[in-house]
Amino acid sequence: MPTLLEALEEKYGMEPDEKEEHVEEEVLVSIFVPKLPPRQSTPQLLILNDCNIDRAGEPEDLKKKCRIVKELDLAQNKLNNWNEVFVILSHMPRVEFVNLSLNHLTGPIQKPPVTKMDHLRNLVLNNTKLEWCSVEKLLRLLPALEELHLSLNEYTHVLIDTIDPAAEQSSTVNSDAGTDATGNNNTKDETATSQAEDTMSSCSCSSSSPQPAEQNQSVDMASVEPPTLQTDPHGGVRKLHLTGNYISEWGEICRIGRVFPQLEALVLADCPLRSLKPTDPQGNENEEESHKYFPHLKLLNLSNAKIDSWEDIDRLSEFPALCNVRLQYWPLWARTDSTTEHERRQLLIARLPNISILNGGDTIGAVEREDAERSFIRHYLDKSDGERPRRYYELIGVHGQLDPLVNIDLRPERKVKVRFTFEDQAIERTVDVNRTVSDLKSRLERIFEVPAARMRLYYVDQDFRDLQGLEEMKYPHKVLYSYNIRSGDEIIIERKVKS
C-alpha cells in the first residue's frame, strides 16, 4: 500500500525543477514562468481519498511538499494508527480542515504529541469507530477546533463529561450504604476513585461502540451505562454532528452540552432519541431541565428520532437561543390528528414561538405565524381543558377568544339527481357530473335498451325550461358539469331515425 507521499507524487507528478534557459541581455520583454506547472505543485486543498494510504512517508519530503496545505481529505484510506496521522499533520502547519472518515481509527492514542495543532478548526471522523477516550485526548490537542463530526460511530452512550465519575460513584455508594459504624467511608471512596482511575487509564471504551451484529440490541445495551471519562470543557467547538449513532437518552446529550458549553449547532439525525426529558440510568426522569446545558444552541436536527410526545415539542420552546430545528419523520406525526402536512406545520409554528426556520423551509414570517397561532387556537376550541396545552392559554391572551371558522364549500356538487325521460318512461338516477356525455350514453344504453350510437340527449334546465327550451348534448367528450346540471333537472332521450 502506498504512503501519503507516494500517493501525492503519483497524483500530482512531483518532478525535479527544470533549469531555466539563458536569456540574452538584448531581450527587453520578460515573461514570468512558475518554477512548477500546476500539476506539479501541491494545492492548498489536498484530496487523496480512497488511495489505500496506510502511513505518512519520508518526513523531510512530506514537510517540503505539504507546508502550504490548508484542507486535507484522506477519507476511505487504510490509516489505523494515530501516530501516523500525527506525523502527517505535523508536516502541515497551516492545515485547518481534516477529513479522516472511513479510516479504521479505533485504537487509543498512546503517546499524543507534545505540540498542539493550533490551526485545525474542522475535524471529520465519521465511521471511524473512534472511542470516546480518544475523542477526549483529541480535544486537548485541538484548542482551535470549531466543528467536529462523529457520525456513524455506533455510539450508544456519550462517555465524556465534565463531572468527575469517581465522585459520582462514591456519592452513590454513600447514599446507598450509609456510614459504616467502624468509619470505613474513606476506604470506600478511595476504592471507587482508584477503580475509576484504572478505567480511565486503560482507555477501555469498547462498550460504547457495539459491533454491527449487535445493532438490534442497541436499546437494551443503552440501559447499562459504561463509566465516563472526566474532561475539561472545550469552549471552541460550535458545531457537532452525531448522525446515525444509537444514543437514545437525552441525559447522554446533556453531557455533550457540558463538554461543549458554546455549542451552536447539534445534529442528531437518525438517532433513536425517545424523549427530550433527561433520565437516570434506571430510566427515571430527572428534575433537570432539557435546555440547561445549551444556552447558545441555535440549530438542532432531530429528524428520524423516536419521539412520540407533544410535551417534547414544548420543551424545545424553552431553549433560549434555538431558532432552527428539523423534526421530520417522528412517530408523533403518524398518530397526530392533523390531516395534512400544512396543518402539522401550523401546530409546530404555534407551539415554537422562537423558531424562525422549521424543517429547512423559508423563514417563518409574521403573517404565517399569526395564521398558525389562530389555527392552533381553533384546533383546541372543542377540546377539554385537560387536553389543551399551556401554549393555548398563552395565545388566547395574545389573540383573544376566537370563533370557529364557517366551513363554506364552493365546489359544485359532484353527484346530482336527474330525471331521465324516454317516450313514455321516466326514471330518476344519480349522475356523476365529472363523467362525459359519451359515458352517460353508455350507461343509459343498458337502462332503455337504445344503442348509444342511435341516441340523442337533450338537457332541460328546471329554472329556464320555458325561456331556453331544450339543449342538445351533441358533443360526446364534453363533461356533464359544463352544462351546470343540478339536482331536479331533466334529460330527454330520443332515438335517432334511420335515414
Rounded CA separation 428/488 (Å): 9
Closest CA to 317 of 289, 338, 281: 289
pLDDT for 397-417, tens place per residue?
999 988 887 776 667 678 899
What's the confidence (pLDDT) of residue 221? 45
Cβ–Cβ < 8 Å for 277, 290? yes
pLDDT on residue 197: 43
Region 268-274 average pLDDT: 97
Closest CA to 313 of 399, 401, 371, 390: 390
Q: Both 346 and 479 in a single domain?
A: no
Beta-bridge partner residues of 419: 428, 490
Nine cell digits for residue 411: 365546489
- HSE at residue 386, side-chain half, CA atoms within 13 A, is 0
* Per-residue pLDDT at 182: 40
Cα separation, 197 vs 193, in Å, equals 6
Q: Is residue 367 part of a domain?
A: yes
Summarize pLDDT for 216-242 with one digit per residue, the tens.
Answer: 444 444 455 678 899 999 999 999 999
Q: Are residues 358 and 464 in the same domain?
A: no
Choose one of 336, 362, 396: the last residue of a domain.
Answer: 396
Given a contact cutoff of 8 angstroms between Cβ atoms, the answer to whether 180 and 153 are in contact is: no
Cell numbers 332503455 correspond to 448
pLDDT top residue among 208 and 385 = 385
**Beta-strand pair 229-230/239-241:** unpaired
Report, in angstroms and rounded to the nearest whole number, the Rg of the chain calculated over CA atoms.
37
- Residue 34 is predicted with a pLDDT of 53
Asked if 461 and 473 count as a contact pair (C-beta separation under 8 A), the reply is no
Residue 284: inside a domain: no
CA distance 189 to 4: 49
Residue 164 has a pLDDT of: 79
Cβ pair 46, 8 in contact under 8 A: yes
419 and 368 both lie in a single domain:
no
The domain that contains 123 carries what CATH number? 3.80.10.10
Backbone φ and ψ of 136, nearest 5° = -60, -40
At residue 91, the 3 state secondary structure works out as coil
Label the pairing between strands 425-432 and 357-358. unpaired
Residue 117 has pLDDT above 70, yes or no: yes
Grade residue 271 by pLDDT with cuts at 50, 70 and 90: very high
Residue 203 has pLDDT above 60, yes or no: no
Most confident of 95-104, 339-348, 438-447: 95-104
**pLDDT at residue 166 is higher than 70:** no
Q: Which of the four pLDDT bands, split at 50, 70 and 90, describes residue 211?
A: very low
Among residues 340, 364, 396, the one where a domain terminates is: 396
| Residue tagged 334529460 (cell numbers) | 491
Burial of 388 from C-beta contacts in 10 A (0-12 / 13-18 / 19+):
middle
pLDDT for residue 8 = 86
Share of the chain above pLDDT 90, in %: 55
The pairing of beta strand 147-149 with beta strand 239-241: parallel
Q: What is the pLDDT of residue 459?
A: 93
Q: Give the DSSP letter string of 467-486.
A: HH--EE---TT-BGGGGT--
Grid cell 512548477 is found at: 36
- Specify whether 93 is located in the same domain as 240: yes
385 and 421 inside one domain: no
Same-domain status, 118 and 264: yes
CB 247 within 8 A of CB 276: no
What residues contact residue 288 under an 8 Å CB cut-off, 6+ apart?
251, 254, 278
Residue 104 lies in a domain: yes
| 308 and 430 together in one domain | no
Place of cell 334546465: 461
Task: Name which of 178-192, 238-252, 297-311 the model is least confident about.
Answer: 178-192
Mean pLDDT over 111-118 rounds to 69
- Looking at residue 109, its pLDDT comes to 83
DSSP per position, 169-193: HHHHHHHHH---TT--HHHHHHHHH
- The pLDDT of 3-7, averaged and rounded, is 88
**Is 212 among the domain residues?**
no
Q: What is the pLDDT of residue 24?
A: 45
Mean pLDDT of 345-349: 95
Q: In this structure, what CATH number is given to the domain that contains residue 426? A: 3.10.20.90
pLDDT of residue 133: 93
Considering only residues 324 and 25, tell me which one the structure prediction assigns the higher pLDDT.
Answer: 324
Instruction: Name the pLDDT band for 357 (thresholds 50, 70, 90).
Output: very high
Give residue 15's pLDDT. 53
The residue among 329 and 222 whose pLDDT is bigger is 329
* Residue 48 belongs to some domain of the structure: yes
Lowest-pLDDT choice from 68-82, 167-181, 271-285, 323-337? 167-181
Last residue of a domain, one of 368, 396, 424: 396
In this structure, the answer to whether residues 242 and 349 fall within a common structural domain is yes
Residue 31's pLDDT is 61
Sign of CA dihedral 471, 473, 478, 479: positive
CB 322 within 8 A of CB 293: no
For position 150, what pLDDT does the model report?
Answer: 98
Looking at the predicted structure, is the pLDDT value of residue 62 above 70? yes
Give me the domain span that covers residue 126.
4-11+39-162+231-278+290-396
In a domain, 409, yes or no: no
Look at 167 and 477; give whichever has higher pLDDT: 477
Q: Which residue has the higher pLDDT, 175 or 127?
A: 127
Q: What is the pLDDT of residue 338?
A: 57
Looking at residue 350, its pLDDT comes to: 97
Q: What is the reported pLDDT for 121?
A: 97
132 and 269 assigned to the same domain:
yes
Does residue 274 form part of some domain?
Answer: yes
Residues 426 and 327 in one domain: no
Instruction: Please tell me the least confidently modeled range out of 41-45, 279-283, 318-322, 374-378.
Output: 279-283
Helical pair 341-351 and 390-399, crossing angle rounded to 10 deg: 80
Strands (E), 231-279: 239-241, 265-267
Which one is predicted more confidently, 248 or 1? Answer: 248
CA 164 – CA 492 distance, rounded (Å): 92
Residue 375, domain member (yes or no): yes
Segment 50-78 shows an average pLDDT of 91
Q: How confident is the model at residue 466, as a pLDDT?
A: 73
Which carries the bigger pLDDT value, residue 33 or residue 150?
A: 150
Number of compact structural domains in the chain: 2
189 has pLDDT over 50: no
Give the percent of the chain with pLDDT over 70: 78
Whether residues 136 and 242 share a domain: the answer is: yes
Per the CB < 8 A criterion, the answer to whether 298 and 322 are in contact is yes
pLDDT tens track for 100-113: 999 999 877 876 66
Contacting residues for 442 by C-beta, under 8 A, at least 6 apart: 452
Q: pLDDT value at position 272?
A: 97
Same domain, 481 and 378: no
Give CA separation, 14 vs 6, 87, 222, in Å: 10, 21, 51
Q: What is the mean pLDDT of residues 282-308?
A: 89
